[in-house]
């Protein structure tokens, strides 16, 4: 697997256009972006399965106010989608799963258990989103001179 990440203003076309672009076009964009990189890395990309190239627009959640607990709950990206910066989205989703499991097996009323899980999850989940967004901002402020 390979992946290239860039701020949208460093990409050659608007998001909507890239989202509809042919895999070969996207692959060509990536090849061009790394044209000054080490030949081994360029060879790796050149040998990739071109038809499997796809575009993702990375977005993250905004904090939402607390809601009344019920027998339906949320975890992971469904509630606190996090940008890949800081690599914490999947880890936070796993933490949700562990905490929800602990809450549900603790012996208290189900809705109360879910409410307790949600109260904690909203805090650490949206804190992870915020930290990731800050890391993303700092990284893009530094710029990547290699992404041409």
Q: Is 136 in the site for ligand FAD (CB under 6 A)?
A: no
Q: Does 88 bind ligand FAD (CB under 6 A)?
A: yes
Q: How far is the CB of 55 from ligand FAD (least distance, A)?
A: 11
Stretch that binds ligand FAD, among 13-21, 37-45, 84-92, 108-116 (CB under 6 A): 84-92
Residue of 41, 66, 51, 59 whose CA lies nearest to 21:
51
Total binding residues for ligand FAD by CB under 6 A? 14
Among 10, 43, 70, 87, binds ligand FAD (CB under 6 A): 87
Q: Taking the chain, what is the end-to-end CA distance rounded to the nearest angstrom?
A: 21
| E strand map for the chain | none
Name the nearest CA neighbour of 85 among 123, 125, 58: 58
Residue 101 as a binder of ligand FAD (CB under 6 A): the answer is no
50-79 footprint of ligand FAD as x/- string (CB under 6 A): ------x-x-----------------xxx-
Task: Verify binding: residue 93, ligand FAD, rule CB under 6 A.
Answer: yes
List the alpha helices (DSSP H) in 1-148: 15-19, 23-33, 39-46, 77-80, 89-104, 110-142
Integer Cα distance of 37 and 30 in angstroms: 11
**Tokens read off for 74:** 């949320």
Q: Quick check: 115 binds ligand FAD (CB under 6 A)?
A: no
Residues that bind ligand FAD (CB under 6 A): 3, 56, 58, 76-78, 82, 84, 87-91, 93
């Amino acid at each position: 697997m390979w992946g290239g990440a860039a701020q949208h203003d460093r990409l050659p076309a608007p998001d909507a256009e890239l989202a509809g672009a042919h895999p070969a076009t996207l692959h060509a964009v990536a090849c061009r972006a790394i044209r000054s990189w080490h030949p081994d890395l360029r060879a790796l990309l050149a040998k990739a399965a071109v038809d499997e190239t796809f575009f993702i627009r990375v977005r993250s959640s905004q904090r939402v106010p607390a809601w009344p607990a019920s027998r339906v709950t949320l975890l992971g990206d469904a509630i606190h989608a996090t940008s890949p910066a800081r690599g914490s989205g999947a880890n936070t989703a796993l933490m949700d799963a562990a905490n929800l499991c602990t809450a549900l097996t603790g012996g208290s009323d189900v809705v109360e258990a879910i409410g307790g899980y949600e109260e904690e999850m909203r805090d650490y989940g949206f804190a992870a989103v915020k930290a990731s967004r800050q890391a993303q901002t700092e990284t893009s402020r530094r710029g990547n001179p290699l992404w041409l």
